[in-house]
Amino acid sequence: MAWVFTLALSLVGATGCGVQELPSEEEELLHTQSQALEGQNGMTLNGLSLNGLSTTDFTSWFNGNPASNSLLMRYMVRCAVPEGETRTFTNPSTGLTYSWPGALGLAPGWAGGAPASVEEQQVISACLAAHANNYGLNVSISVLGRDAKGTNIPYSSEELSLFGKRESCFFGNVFAQQGLFAGNDRTSLAADESTRRPCGLKGYKALDNPSCSQVKRIGQCEDYCTLDASGNFYTSCTYNGVQYKPLNTRLRQADINRCGDGVCQMGESCGWGITADSCLMDCGTCAY
């Protein structure tokens, strides 16, 4: 199955159970780099073992854009491989060695050297979509859900309390060219609210955000997805007749911006109104 990843974006997030926070040393890189795997790149997902990266196909793909592809692999490995493990690749063309640490361990079979299952393709796609941020900004998130084998991502009551704002469900399969999808998790932003995550929470039944054109909005998650018994995350989502394994994200309340707080933040726009997309008090009027 061809690895086709048309996701020109910046990624945020990093380590630990479900809490994803970007290490400071990567912030500048993520502001300037974008990821794009477009069309047939000569490498197949099922032919790539994360325990054996030094294949001809992988090397050829990687050297197409080493800077961006290294950053993409950093997030791929974080999503797929367990915390405490790393995956290393020595580029035969340059002699440089790259080491990518694991974190969430969502694809244990693939991480262990087996061909990637459809479930693993889906959960890795959901993980990458959950970390997408075309604004290139660092926003800590909590990631909830199940890995490809159906095991819950560990979380605590403290995590749920700290990340008290339900954000979105993310699902899809970019490896099978089925796209990426996102919806609001039982809540919506008010007209005067915004976040620094353009692919995440939106107003009620909001349309696609032009700042996140790679992810299609589906409205409310509950219209397409099944809740876990805990009520904290969804176990499956069905769209266009295909059932997917989703991941859920949560935000800190402090990361919800409000028009009128005196600060013009990413996600807000200038104008004459009191809404996030026309916030006179924070962003002033627009100059044309």
DSSP result, 228-268: -TTSSSEEEEEETTEEE--EEEEE-GGG-EETTSS---BTB
Could you tell me which residues are beta bridge partners of residue 88? 99
What confidence score (pLDDT) does residue 11 get? 36
What confidence score (pLDDT) does residue 8 get? 28
What confidence score (pLDDT) does residue 24 get? 34
Give the chain's radius of gyration (CA, Å).
19
What confidence score (pLDDT) does residue 46 get? 54
Read off the tokens for 10. Answer: 């910046």
Distance CA 47, CA 2 (A): 9
Residue in 207, 3, 34, 267 with CA at minimum distance from that of residue 132: 34
Distance CA 50, CA 57 (A): 13
pLDDT of the chain, 288 residues: tens digit per residue: 233 333 323 333 333 355 554 433 333 222 222 232 222 233 455 556 677 676 777 888 888 888 888 888 888 899 999 999 999 999 999 999 999 999 999 999 988 888 889 999 999 999 989 988 877 778 889 999 999 999 999 999 999 999 999 999 999 998 888 989 999 999 899 999 999 888 888 887 776 777 787 888 899 999 999 999 999 999 999 999 999 999 999 999 999 999 999 999 988 899 999 999 899 999 999 976
pTM of the complete model: 0.83
Report H helices in the chain.
Answer: 27-32, 56-62, 66-80, 108-111, 118-130, 157-162, 280-283
